[in-house]
Structure 1
Amino acid sequence: MSVISWIVGMILNSLFMKTKYYKKASHLNFITSKKRNTIIGLNYFKWIVKNTFFKYLNQKLKVEHKKTDLTEIRKEMTFSEISHLIGFIFVTIIAIYNCFSEHIVFALTMMLANILLNLYPALLQQQNKRRIDVLLKKHVQPL
């Protein structure tokens, strides 16, 4: 279900990019506090992404050297983040339907996987975008 939600998220996000709301959505920040990110275990999730096969999933998000275009990386992170959020909403709707269809255990299992495979990646992208924004602000020369 998660792989399907990723594909649905990418397709719907490609359509969403053409709307006037995309720019506003590219600045979402659900959890801005470093302490709250630590409490929910985002640092552990980050370690898992960096040290397991997940690091091979989106190669466009790598900063390989100092000359990497951070603006382009941020753009790719935004696409990834919004795709994951759309996937999260998609699976949540299916899980809610399953709750009403008396498949509550299946719905809860689906939501657990959904949180780990869609919500946490989106939160991680938001955290990384905030770090990139700080670097971009440092490198902008005043006129």
Structure 2
Amino acid sequence: MKTKTILKKVFLSLGSIFLFYRSYELIINWEKLQSSNNTEAVLFSILANLFILGSFALAGFAWPTYSLLPSKYYEIRFPKQILKFGKLIGVPIFQKFLLMTFWSNKDQQKRYFNGTKTGIFNWVKESKMSEFGHLIPFFILVFLSIWSLGLGFWKMSLINLILNILANLYPVLLQRTHRARLSPILKRLKDSTNNSA
């Protein structure tokens, strides 16, 4: 393994550990952080989303954390239905927004798919990594929203839930949409490999 790769893994791992610690601090103090003040509610919800998402995302960039879930979870059983549902709730619009803002860099896009046959398999792997990085934070943040609601802070619960849907649920659905689109191509590649064997 190259020194640059090792250093990258070390820095990403340290960043993830730091954010996990900050997330832990935030969660154990969640009850004390509840606020009816709009600015505070938005601020604490943003911090919760940033810390929790960041901790899992950085860990996923450093290590194959997506493999913690069984491979069956990532299988797309009903691609047409997923694509139809995604279109219905605006996943393609969300994708266009990402491509115009956070993912406008062409080099970033090539990290996902470089236009080759091998690149398709890399795209699938990257989509699994991204999905896992958003999936666990989604459930943790849903729990925090329910907690806020239980404490009577419905505004903070709603703000946190909206941010969570945009920052985590839509990215999860987008990755599943990617794999749904790729499923016929992957099937053809798999069949051609089996036929040539």
TM-score class, shorter-chain normalisation, is: 0.7 to 0.9
| RMSD, matched Cα | 2.9
Task: Tell me: higher relative CO, structure 1 or 2? Use CA pairs within 8 A at least 6 residues apart.
Answer: 1
Given the alignment of the two structures, is residue 82 of structure 1 paired with residue 129 of structure 2, yes or no?
no
Q: TM-score if structure 2 supplies the norm length?
A: 0.60
Q: Which residue of 2 is the match for residue 26 of structure 1?
A: 74
Q: In the alignment, is the contact (CA less than 8 A) between 1:42 and 1:124 conserved in 2?
A: yes
Task: Give SS of 1:69's match.
Answer: helix
Given the alignment of the two structures, is residue 7 of structure 1 paired with residue 7 of structure 2, yes or no?
no
Q: Counterpart of 2:133 in structure 1: which amino acid?
A: S
Q: In the alignment, is the contact (CA less than 8 A) between 1:95 and 1:107 conserved in 2?
A: yes
Greater C-alpha radius of gyration: 2
Shift, 1:70, TM fit: 1.5
In the alignment, structure 2 segments of 5+ residues that lack a partner are 1-47
Q: In the alignment, is the contact (CA less than 8 A) between 2:145 and 2:158 conserved in 1?
A: yes
Q: Which residue of 1 is the match for residue 97 of structure 2?
A: 48
1:17-45 per-residue CA deviation (whole Å, 9 max, x = no partner) reads 554x4212222679834332222111211
Q: Counterpart of 1:139 in structure 2: which amino acid?
A: L
Q: Counterpart of 2:74 in structure 1: which amino acid?
A: S
Task: Give SS of 1:82's match.
Answer: helix
The separation in 2 between residues aligned to 1:29 and 1:84, in whole angstroms, is: 21
The separation in 2 between residues aligned to 1:41 and 1:50, in whole angstroms, is: 14
**1:109 pairs with 134, 153, 159, which one?**
159
Q: Which residue of 2 is the match for residue 64 of structure 1?
A: 114
Shift, 1:133, TM fit: 2.3
1:57-80 per-residue CA deviation (whole Å, 9 max, x = no partner) reads x93753233354211221111111
The separation in 1 between residues aligned to 2:96 and 2:164, in whole angstroms, is: 19
Shift, 1:84, TM fit: 0.7
Shift, 1:116, TM fit: 0.8
Q: Which residue of 2 is the match for residue 93 of structure 1?
A: 143
Q: TM-score if structure 1 supplies the norm length?
A: 0.80
